[in-house]
Amino acid sequence: AQSVTQLGSHVSVSEGALVLLRCNYSSSVPPYLFWYVQYPNQGLQLLLKYTSAATLVKGINGFEAEFKKSETSFHLTKPSAHMSDAAEYFCAVSAINDMRFGAGTRLTVKP
């Protein structure tokens, strides 16, 4: 069965600092992996996706993620945090008929 685990339910960074949100996956087949962002009382917006074309994936709003098969990881990074990045972030793996999500990481950005 495919699943993802997000390490750290809450991450706090200062504005301008590096953002690192961790995600590890479990999959018996080459996975399709996603990062979504959710703002309060809104749906999920796709940040980026890994579909095996390239291990370093660039997404919207300056985010990127690197697929590391040896570490079964797909961590999300952004070089410089902005106040508007404060939100909930979800890592997900595409299963056969649905998508499996991690529990989420709440990112707080301090001025």
Interaction site with another protein (CB under 8 A):
9, 32, 34, 36, 41-46, 49, 51, 90, 92, 94-95, 97-104
Nearer to another protein, 12 or 14 (CB): 12
56 vs 98 by CB, closer to another protein: 98
Phi and psi of 90, rounded to 5°? -125, 130
**Least distance (Å) from another protein to the CB of residue 16?**
28
Minimum distance between the CB of residue 38 and another protein, rounded to whole angstroms? Answer: 9
- Whether 6 contacts 22, CB under 8 Å: yes
**Contact in structure between 77 and 20 (CB atoms under 8 Å):** yes
CA neighbor of 91 nearest in space, from 1, 14, 9, 18: 9
